[in-house]
Amino acid sequence: MKSFDAIVIGGGLVGSAIAYGLANAGLNPALVDEGDVAFRASRGNFGLVWVQSKGLGAPHYQRWTRRSAEEWPHLAADLGERTGISVGLQQPGGLQLCLGDEEFEQRRQMMERMRSESGNFGFDYRMIERGELADILPGLGPDVTGASWTPYDGHANPLNLLHALHKGFLGRGGTYLPNSTVTEARVAPGDFRINIGADEIAAPKIVLAAGLGNAELAPLFDLFAPVRPQRGQILVTERARQVWPLPLGSLRQTQEGSIMLGSSEEDVGFDTSQKPEVMKTIAQRAVRSFPWIAELQIVRAWAALRVMPADGHPIYDESERFPGAFTANCHSGVTLAGAHARVFAPMVAAGALDPMMAPFSARRFPKNPDVPAAA
């Protein structure tokens, strides 16, 4: 049996960010990664570091997302220095385009509610009308009425991020266990032993960051992870000249020049197939926003499953019965990477979650699946 200071189950963006943070905190962690047989949200990520639409009706989530966006430059710089990999972070703010007066007014009301809910924490935003927006975004379509803007938003290369987190984790002395599925677990307070194939590993701390797999893993540690799959689809065009100075929510131009179009939300269970009707809807909205996009060739398209808690907000917990066992669940692996590596991981290393994390506990949900979750 091999012993470590901590075990992280899940090698995607959430798990690798936490594992990297634990290694940076001086622990000797193991990262257990099931591999591409898992329903990886990481391989389908859009790449946004996005604040402006996170936390409506949940100010604690808004603050957590903002905190992560603030930590992102430090994470990107640290990864670049340690690994030589650029994660392509740009944080010039972001725009969410509105098609039609009704959509613009609904967006304005939402943003004002978020500002009101932020209290003394503050929430800066602007509603930009079409005339000003057309000067910022060449080739804007006639259906675009305006956009919301916040200064916090940005984007990054999610594949480079995952690569850098893994390389940085190994560089800090972490142990990576690929193509490993947990087959058995024996748990006690501060003593966790899991089997992966024929091998057994142990640690006084364990973090469940296995995405949709957490739903089955969590009860083994007297934790609760009510997460469900939500399918999203993305289209990618051929490369074009750089036209946008910032990300646009459902439209993002990569550093290489290709344009990503998305996204969508479908509750279809564990189905990762693509649906032409949804792809058509995504493409039509993009062309309404910028008619010239219709001239570009689509070169790639995919579907992937988000890890969606019942109310859309992250879940973080420590087991009351088995202290030292933690869980992390969210659908924003890129956006929250800064917080996972630089805020959440140090809490785990210290042995307890900060009281500020209490609103994220799964105790906000009923354990009876027939009872609706709290809003």
Per-residue pLDDT at 41: 66
Q: What is the band of 372 on the pLDDT scale with cuts at 50, 70, 90?
A: very low
Per-residue pLDDT at 323: 97
- 320 shares a domain with 194: yes
Give the domain-ending residue among 284, 309, 334.
309
Separation CA 365–CA 375 (nearest Å): 9
Summarize pLDDT for 62-114 with one digit per residue, the tens.
999 999 999 999 999 999 999 999 999 999 999 999 999 999 999 999 999 99
- 103 shares a domain with 236: no
Tally of structural domains, the chain:
3
- 67 shares a domain with 6: yes
373 within a domain of the structure (yes/no): no
- CA 285, 287, 293: angle at the middle one, nearest 5? 135
- 238 shares a domain with 104: no
Per-residue pLDDT at 348: 98
118 within a domain of the structure (yes/no): yes
Quick one: which of 159, 157, 158, 155 has its CA closest to 94? 155
85 within a domain of the structure (yes/no): no
The parent domain of residue 184 ranges over 2-72+158-226+311-364
Summarize pLDDT for 274-320 with one digit per residue, the tens.
899 999 999 999 999 999 999 999 999 988 888 999 899 999 999 99
- 175 shares a domain with 302: no
- Average pLDDT estimate for 137-155: 96
144 within a domain of the structure (yes/no): yes
Give the domain-ending residue among 309, 331, 346.
309
- 219 shares a domain with 331: yes
Bridge partners for 188 per DSSP: 191
CATH code of the domain in which 29 resides: 3.50.50.60
Bridge partners for 285 per DSSP: none
Separation CA 231–CA 269 (nearest Å): 8
CA torsion through residues 369, 372, 374, 375, sign? positive
| b/e sequence 86-110, b meaning 16+ C-beta within 10 Å | ebbbbbebbbbbbeeeebbeebeeb
- 186 shares a domain with 140: no
Phi, psi at 143, each rounded to 5° = -80, -10
Phi, psi at 10, each rounded to 5° = 125, 115
Asked if residue 166 has pLDDT above 70, the reply is yes
Supply 1's token pair. Answer: 């049996």
- 207 shares a domain with 333: yes
Q: Measuring CA to CA, how many Å separate 313 from each of 179, 349, 362, 369?
A: 29, 23, 10, 17
CA torsion through residues 32, 37, 38, 40, sign? positive
Indicate the pTM of the whole model.
Answer: 0.94
CATH code of the domain in which 282 resides: 3.30.9.10
Per-residue pLDDT at 347: 98
